[in-house]
Structure 1
Amino acid sequence: MAFDITFSLTDTDLTYFKDVMRKACSGAATLDEKSILEKVKALSTEVKTGVPEFVVERLNKLDTLVKMVEDKEWQIPDEERKDVISALAYFGNPTDLIPDHIPALGFLDDAIMIELVVNELHDNIEAYVEFSEYREREKSRKDPSTITTGDWLEAKRKELHNRMYRRRSSRSGRSSFRIF
């Protein structure tokens, strides 16, 4: 039997979580990118069994963020890379707001933070997912003798990076919740 629990975060709650994330982001400056990515990948791999489904669903979103950074063909712009790595730093810390070893509740704070980060990086994630889907479609469709992989990936990457910047710029100043 499934059981739904719904709650809303007030502006005060969002401010609290934003402050926690900012502290984690500032702490990320002392960590190297490789270490952060390894910790998040280990967390995702280790945790996907024996935790509530709502946690697994959100950990899959973290996997997408890691792929964005590691995907050499995506060539994530430096500013976005820094934002993603800073956000991921929070999830590599097993003693965050609610220590991860506490059964059932240990990943509740992580699930909340993942939702906030995914909301904040929505345009980036959407562009990356579209790029990945495009790449897979084009690999099977294009005749390699007519156009190179680099050509069509470069064109799509530029299109999506520009869209990402436009959307982010049009939203700046309008959101009451901004982590980065």
Structure 2
Amino acid sequence: MSIQVSFELSDNDLEHFRTMMKTAVENASSYSEQEVLSRAIAACNEMKQADLPDFVAKRMHSLEALIAAVQDVEWQMPDDEKKEVLSSLAYFCEPQDLVPDHIPVLGYVDDAIMIELVIVDMSLDLDAYEEFCSFRKTEENRRGDAANVDRESWLASTRNQIRSSMRKKRKSGTRRRVFGRIM
């Protein structure tokens, strides 16, 4: 039998997590892009090896998708967007948690909250990247062996269209950013 526990984070609660993220970003500013990615990947791998509660495991896909988006050469993430994603991943470079992970079930509550806040903050970026991946896979399947012929051309037009749509949504304020970039 499972139960559902819901809670609401007030502005004061969110401020606490913003402070944690700000500290993580400041600490990670001395790391290279590759170090941030390596540490975030290591944190994901460590969480996968743990007996994660479902509420954390369900969020791991999105966190891994952000990492993949930064590393995907064909997505060609612009530097400003890459910097935002890396800043969002900075928390996962920190060895110190609010609640130590070794505490069964509860040890990952802070991680789940932070992952959820990062996902909310980066939702347009995630949606755009997942749309691009879906298009790429569909085209690879449709084109078969010819998928590599003029590949950059057919990827570029869709990539540009997806990014343009994402930026319009961002400018129109269709989402509220949690970590203070847009409020």
Residues 14-93 of structure 1 correspond to what in structure 2 (within 5 A)? 14-48=14-48, 49-93=50-94
TM-score, normalised on structure 2? 0.89
C-alpha distance 30-146 of structure 1, shift in aligned 2 (>3 A): closer
Q: Does 1:134 align with 2:143?
A: no
Give the conservation status (yes or no) of the 8 Å contact 1:90–1:96.
Answer: no
C-alpha distance 125-146 of structure 1, shift in aligned 2 (>3 A): closer
How big is the shift at 1:145?
8.2
How big is the shift at 1:146?
10
Q: Which runs of 5+ in 2 are unaligned?
A: none
How big is the shift at 1:175?
3.5
- Alignment: residue pair count: 179
* Residue in 2 that maps onto 1:103: 104
* Residue in 2 that maps onto 1:163: 165
How big is the shift at 1:101?
2.9
Higher helix share: 2
* Residue in 2 that maps onto 1:152: 154
Give 3-state SS (helix, strand or coil) of 1:9's partner: coil
Letter aligned with residue 3 of structure 1:
I
Deviations 1:64-105 (A, max 9, x none): 110010000001111110111111110122312223233322
Q: Which runs of 5+ in 1 are unaligned?
A: none
Q: Which moved more, 1:114-123 or 1:15-24?
A: 15-24
RMSD value, Cα: 2.1
Give the conservation status (yes or no) of the 8 Å contact 2:99–2:108.
Answer: yes
Percent identical across equivalent pairs? 39
